[in-house]
Amino acid sequence: MSRLTHIDDQGRARMVDVSEKPATVREAVASGFVRMSAETLALAISGSGRKGDVRVVAELAGVMAAKKTSDLIPLCHPLALSKVEVAVEPADEGLLVTARVKTTGPTGVEMEALTAASVACLTIYDMLKAAEKGMVIEAVRLLEKTGGKSGDWKAA
């Protein structure tokens, strides 16, 4: 097993020193899914929810969340993000969230993409909970990442 980069030799948590790493273009894509009834899905895609257009608000929340990742995840570096895209699309039995984040820097943006997808899913739940409390947020995961020392990776 490889050594955990956020744990020092004494077992203490630490922020990784990336000052010697070269700046490269890095991109990550993450997704999540909110499972719901057909009636709630119809309400979500109608754009006429009491709190506004569910998809638009969730996409904006995801963008905002990506920019705040280092405030939420203790050992993440604050990054200058060059691109954040969040898409919420209808799918069988719910809404699929996809977040794509890009930067040029010494560390990757996987956590920013995962945070964007997670918060977009939470926003969908918040906006639709009056219609259905039994919605399920599931399958939040990294789909792919490019750039950096470890190279490219794609989920199977």
- Return the active site residues: 126
Alpha helices, DSSP H, located in the chain = 38-46, 54-67, 69-72, 110-128
Alpha carbon distance 85, 98 (integer Å): 8
CA distance 108 to 103: 8
93, 86 Cβ separation under 8 angstroms? no
**Residue 30, SS3?**
strand
